[in-house]
Amino acid sequence: MLRAKTISRQRVKSSTSYLKNQVLVTIRIKNEVDSENLIWNVSEQNTIYLNNHSTNIFKFDNIVTSSANYLVYTRNFQKIIASSIIDGLNGIIMAYGQTNSGKTYTMSGKESKVKSEKGLIQYSIEDIFSIIEEQKQKEYRLKISYVEIYNETIKDLLNPLNPVEIKILIDKETNGTYMAPIKHEFCLTQYQVLDLIKKGEANRQLKQTDGNFRSSRSHTILQITVDAKDLRNSFVTHSRIVFCDLAGSEKLDSNIFRRKEGSFINKSLLALGNCISKLSDPKEKDNHIPYRDSKLTRILQNSLSGNSLVGVICTISARERNKEESLSTLKFAQRIKNIPINATKGRERNVDQKELIKIYKDEIKELKEKLVETDLKLAEEKSKTESLKKQKALINDGTKDVQDTQIFDNNLFKLELIKCRLSLVKNIKNLENLYLSARDNEVVGSIITDHTGSLDSVPSIISKITVFSFNWYHIFSK
């Protein structure tokens, strides 16, 4: 299976200056089975144009016709992820295009019994943890949130039963926006992140439309927040990587209920287009930008206001019947390409020892609950495997192959849970070193629940709290 090769530090340095001042735009043309009635041509200079229409010529950073997401990621978006983690820069990767043009496939990939394809999100997460593992002079804390905007209502995909209305608030310190209340999950391994995303995907609004059998009816925003502590000076850099999968623009649907959904989608996409138009126009950039016209633009305000790395993947169909929608998408891509940006380092501050101890105390409690949950999952999967084996022993027909596949998948998931648990246990050793190096023995002792002994007794306590870990960590071998 292909895996994105981690980008080198030297390559990051050589590309960061370009990324800091340019929106990276990639056009992906859907790979059509039937090659008839295809009206778009692509030149070697990343230029796309209509057949016999020299007036509609567009040039972008990359134009992709391959169906392989691996190539899309490594050629176009890997540098954004690497720069975000290594240099502490905020970043966003956004997918835009009409329904059934391949946006969600590009971002999230596709799971199939025949062939599975990872998306940009999965490749990015693999790289994030690979890069973190290489950064020997830094410790990292990583958490994710995952929401969707459906009919102008924000829904927490990690906590779908939340009865409280989610609001968009102003961060007084940064003057940016944030959502509350939403659930943030701290993660130690890529498997935890991918498992949470899978759970969130199950809560999305996906329905059949005239244009697509299984269409995304909402905008989704996956946010990965990274705190990096430099071990040389105790400075902490706070940065954010956002993945935004926009719902597809559509013509009027034959179903009345879906027509209402479509009107909300088109309204928010229109608001996004208006913001992009003003941001890309030198005469308008200093005037009022209408971020408040929709919840989508309000949430994306932090990423679009000029201080983040921006990568956009616009998907189109080359078929003649989709000409107007594809032309509209390319014009959007051209406008967003012209937005001036100056990506800056995320918020940086000095964290003293006492503040770190407080962070450990809060997060140890949360991670204890998380690991107990992991143990329950592991026990459940073991029970499921035993049940499948018993069923297989009673089967004499050709369905044994199906049973073998289920048992294999079940064992694979158990292996991921075990790896996650091993990573937590290894981090305990690092936690012990933090205790021993702390200046105040009493403060150190207080971060362990129900423990009031001296520093000498800390190691014995550590050996008992195998369900504990912390989030200022180095990632160990998976």
**Residues 421-433 pLDDT 10s:** 666 665 555 555 5
The pLDDT confidence band at residue 393, using thresholds 50, 70 and 90, is low
pLDDT at 380 (0 to 100): 81
The pLDDT of 276-290, averaged and rounded, is 86
How far apart (Å, rounded) are the C-alpha atoms in residues 245 and 96? 7
Return the domain boundaries, the chain: 9-348, 352-462
User: Does the annotation place 102 within a ligand binding site?
Assistant: yes
| Parallel, antiparallel or unpaired: strands 91-97 and 309-316 | parallel
The pLDDT confidence band at residue 474, using thresholds 50, 70 and 90, is very low
User: Does the annotation place 315 within a ligand binding site?
Assistant: no
Q: What is the residue type of 157?
A: L
User: Does the annotation place 430 within a ligand binding site?
Assistant: no
The pLDDT confidence band at residue 76, using thresholds 50, 70 and 90, is confident
Contact yes or no for 120/69 (Cβ under 8 A): yes
In sequence order, which residues have a C-beta less than 8 Å from that of residue 115 and are 6 or more positions away?
none
Instruction: Give the percent of the chain with pLDDT over 90.
Output: 31
3-class DSSP state of 24: strand
Choose the weakest-confidence range: 188-202, 266-280, 298-312, 351-365.
351-365
Q: What is the residue type of 292?
A: R
pLDDT at 135 (0 to 100): 87
How far apart (Å, rounded) are the C-alpha atoms in residues 64 and 436? 53
Chain centroid, CA 66 distance in Å: 22
**Residues 1-26 pLDDT 10s:** 334 445 555 545 545 666 778 899 99
pLDDT at 364 (0 to 100): 64
Contact yes or no for 249/267 (Cβ under 8 A): no
pLDDT at 44 (0 to 100): 78
pLDDT at 34 (0 to 100): 64
Per residue, the 3-state secondary structure of 436-468, as one string, reads: HHCCCHHHHHHCCCCCCCCHHHHHHHHCCCCCC
User: Does the annotation place 234 within a ligand binding site?
Assistant: no
In sequence order, which residues have a C-beta less than 8 Å from that of residue 156 and are 6 or more positions away?
145, 146, 147, 162, 166, 182, 183
**Residues 184-243 pLDDT 10s:** 988 888 888 998 999 998 888 765 555 544 557 789 999 999 988 888 887 888 889 999
Give me the chain's average pLDDT, please: 76
**Residues 132-170 pLDDT 10s:** 988 888 888 899 999 999 999 999 999 988 888 999 998
CA triplet 121, 126, 131: central angle to 5 degrees? 120
- pTM score: 0.76
3-class DSSP state of 381: helix
In sequence order, which residues have a C-beta less than 8 Å from that of residue 7 and are 6 or more positions away?
78, 79, 82, 127, 131
The pLDDT of 266-281, averaged and rounded, is 92
Closest C-alpha among 241, 240, 299 to residue 268: 299
The pLDDT confidence band at residue 446, using thresholds 50, 70 and 90, is very low
| Residue-by-residue DSSP string for 228-289 | EEETTT-EEEEEEEEEEEPPPB----SSHHHHHHHHHHHHHHHHHHHHHHHHH-TTTTTS--
Residue 111 pLDDT more than 70? yes
Contact yes or no for 59/46 (Cβ under 8 A): yes
DSSP code of residue 293: G
Residue 282 pLDDT more than 90? no
Helices (H) and strands (E) in the chain, counts: 13, 17
User: Does the annotation place 65 within a ligand binding site?
Assistant: no
DSSP code of residue 473: B
User: Does the annotation place 353 within a ligand binding site?
Assistant: no
Residue 359 pLDDT more than 80? no
pLDDT at 171 (0 to 100): 84
The pLDDT confidence band at residue 447, using thresholds 50, 70 and 90, is very low
pLDDT at 237 (0 to 100): 87
The pLDDT of 254-268, averaged and rounded, is 78
**Residues 366-389 pLDDT 10s:** 666 766 777 777 788 777 777 777
pLDDT at 478 (0 to 100): 32
Beta strands per DSSP E along 75-137: 91-97
pLDDT at 367 (0 to 100): 65
Q: Which of 98-107, 214-223, 390-399 has the highest mean pLDDT?
A: 98-107
pLDDT at 379 (0 to 100): 80
Contact yes or no for 101/315 (Cβ under 8 A): yes
- The CATH class given to the 9-348 domain equals alpha beta
pLDDT at 473 (0 to 100): 37
